[in-house]
Amino acid sequence: MKQSFCAIANRESGEDLIGTASHYQTYVLIECPTPWAAKAFESEQIPDALRRYVKAVKAKRAVQFLLVSKGRKTLRASNKASGIRLMVYEKFPPVDGTVEKYRGYEFEIDGLERVETCLEAHWQGDRLGKTITQKDVLICTHGMRDRCCARFGQPLFKNALRRAKQGRLPNVRLWKVSHIGGHRFAPTAITLPDGRYYGRLTLSALEAVINRSGSARQIQSIYRGWGMLPTPLQILERQLLIQYGWAWFDKVLTVRVLSSSGDELLVEVSVGSAAKQSSTEPFRPTTYRAKLVQDAHSQVCTKVSCGSAIAKPIVKYRVDECVQMAIAPVRAAVVEP
């Protein structure tokens, strides 16, 4: 029997990718050898205590735990080997309504059984890891979860590695990653520290995103959204990204929800620059007021995974109106000592 692929069917459905990025405050990336089980933390490499810990943390915090691998089948032979990397990305700044990026910390631990101790020490302020200065690109290759992730993710990962060795993806670490959602958009990826999600990704598109080359408009067909924002706001953010170009990636947003009903959202978004906000010079943020509504016309019915028995309707939003507000009076930035 011929295998079907949800990613191929989804391309044919014409579904817009935007608004499908997952929304988390924290990412925890744990280096772990492949293969991974369909549910990654049920893999035989994962100690029972770590499995229980992950479940307990997720019940209390908006944390996404992911397994990552450089592509090697073994991790220094076993989970008891030394030199396992543990990475924590946390929303920064940790202020409600302010959206900029994640701040990353990296630890080296003796084995997977040490993950809990290390994370608890970090969250209690007793242990800070090395600040991550590179960009981490997580490409989903989790074929045990959905065959599209292997069929389309594996070639992208291998080709990206070759590009990186040629120096065409500077200051980037490439990782295979466990399930990040959105198999129907395979190949999919997350870039950190910005926390942006991509799908239907090609090698040339990945290179353009990393190097900010060419027109930012090309991102429209591969951009799932900024995971620091809830679904409706991701639609508005893409519109502004295309308007501003690649410079948008360096912007800081302040978001206020003015009103919300079941199918409509009124928001105010102020756009500033991290560089200007940290300087002593006065700055004028640009503010937009937008109405976001559910859009019945862009709704599609599609299988969300290769294992889905039936197609499901996917609710979409659109920007109904977006108005730039009058420039606010000049105010001095507050600079902490």
> What does the H/E/C string look like for the chain?
CCCCCHHHHHHHHCCCCCCCCCCCCEEEEEECCCCCCCCHHHCCCCCHHHHHHHHHHHHHCCEEEEEEECCCCCCCCCCCCCCEEEEEEEEECCCCCEECEEEEEEEEECCHHHHHHHHHHHHCCCCCCEECCCEEEEEECCCCCCHHHHHHHHHHHHHHHHHHHCCCCCCEEEEEECCCCCHHHCCCEEEECCCEEECCCCHHHHHHHHHCCCCHHHHHHCEEEECCCCHHHHHHHHHHHHHHHHHHHHEEEEEEEEEECCCEEEEEEEEEEHHHHCCCCCECCEEEEEEEEECHHHCEEECCCCCCCCCEEECCEEEEEEEECCCCCCECCCCCC
Determine what percent of the chain is predicted with pLDDT higher than 90. Answer: 74
Which residue, chain included where needed, has tokens 């290759």? 141
Task: Using the predicted structure, report yes or no on whether residue 185 has a pLDDT greater than 70.
Answer: yes
pLDDT of residue 226: 97
**Residue 298: pLDDT band by 50, 70, 90 thresholds?**
confident
pLDDT of residue 297: 85
pLDDT of residue 281: 52
pLDDT of residue 78: 43
List beta partners, residue 65. Answer: 28
**pLDDT tens digits, residue range 114-165?**
999 999 999 999 877 999 999 999 999 999 999 999 999 999 999 999 999 9
pLDDT of residue 92: 87
Which residue, chain included where needed, has tokens 């109405």? 291
Pairwise CA distance, residues 206 & 209, whole Å: 5
**pLDDT tens digits, residue range 68-121?**
999 865 444 444 445 899 999 999 877 778 999 999 999 999 999 999 999 999
Span 277-284, average pLDDT: 54
Phi, psi of 20 (to 5 degrees): -115, 10
Ordered structural domains, the chain, with CATH: 6-223 (3.40.30.10), 231-324 (3.10.450)
Task: Using the predicted structure, report yes or no on whether residue 6 has a pLDDT greater than 70.
Answer: yes
Determine what percent of the chain is predicted with pLDDT higher than 70. Answer: 90
pLDDT, greater one: 110 or 299: 110
Span 173-193, average pLDDT: 96
Q: What global pTM score does this model have?
A: 0.91
Span 53-79, average pLDDT: 82
**pLDDT tens digits, residue range 22-39?**
999 999 999 999 999 999
Task: Using the predicted structure, report yes or no on whether residue 315 has a pLDDT greater than 70.
Answer: yes
pLDDT of residue 73: 56
**pLDDT tens digits, residue range 240-266?**
999 999 999 999 999 999 999 878 999
Return the closest-CA partner of residue 26 out of 84, 94, 85.
94
Q: How buried is 187 (Cβ within 10 angstroms: 0-12 exposed, 13-18 middle, 19+ buried)? A: buried
Q: Is the peptide bond before 193 cis (omega within 30 degrees of 0)?
A: yes
Residue type, 96: D
Q: Which two tokens stand for residue 139?
A: 């490409």
pLDDT of residue 333: 40
pLDDT of residue 148: 94
Q: How would you classify the pairing of strands 101-109 and 264-273?
A: unpaired
Q: How far is CA 288 from each of CA 11, 225, 241, 305, rounded to the nearest angstrom? A: 32, 18, 13, 36
